[in-house]
Structure 1
Amino acid sequence: MALMEVRIKRHGKWIVTKFVEEYSHDLDPPRRALKHLSHNVSHKNHVVMNMMDQFHGCGIGPSKIAKAINATSGSTPITTLHVSEHFRENRKNNVGREGFM
């Protein structure tokens, strides 16, 4: 399996102490890697974020918001978790602001 071990030395520099280049599986080509969940950034599109906020303002829950956006979008689908994280991030960034929902 691939491995890289890095340690910090007393003088403050990082040193690679162990490196194994062997892979235990085939790597996906770039066109297939786009389908990995870690590559999905559709939910960070400003149009999508505005739609999430508008739906949320109408009292619609995260799972229905995700379904509605996925039904109208041709891009990589977003999940309920993406929607919930967007609202959590908004709350975190707007703590202490008056008039924020």
Structure 2
Amino acid sequence: MDHFMQAWCNALCMIRDDFEKEDAFHGLCAMVAANPSGAVGSLAYICQACASWNEIKSEGLHNEVCQILNGYKQMLGNGGWEQCMSALEPAVVQRLARYGV
């Protein structure tokens, strides 16, 4: 799954906030929920994609993104999560706070 996850997330970062981005994120969340360990190697890319939103208008999608990110935070434990966050730009980490992580 990692072989296409990075390209997918990079593409999502470039899409403006609209229904196409929402649909793509629903798919991303479904893939990650079905196989979180298969995408853990792309977590930094997933975080960047999540941070690329100006505002998720759909409450359901916002909740899905929260679940995915919080699931990874629990899966990695504090040390692993902090290591991932330290590899990201500070602006990305700041935007991820909207999702409770």
TM-score w.r.t. the length of structure 2 is 0.31
Instruction: Choose between structure 1 and 2: higher strand proportion.
Output: 1
State the structure with bigger RCO (CA 8 A, min sep 6), 1 or 2: 2
Hey, which of these two has a bigger chunk of helix by percent? 2
Q: Give the structure with higher Rg (CA).
A: 1
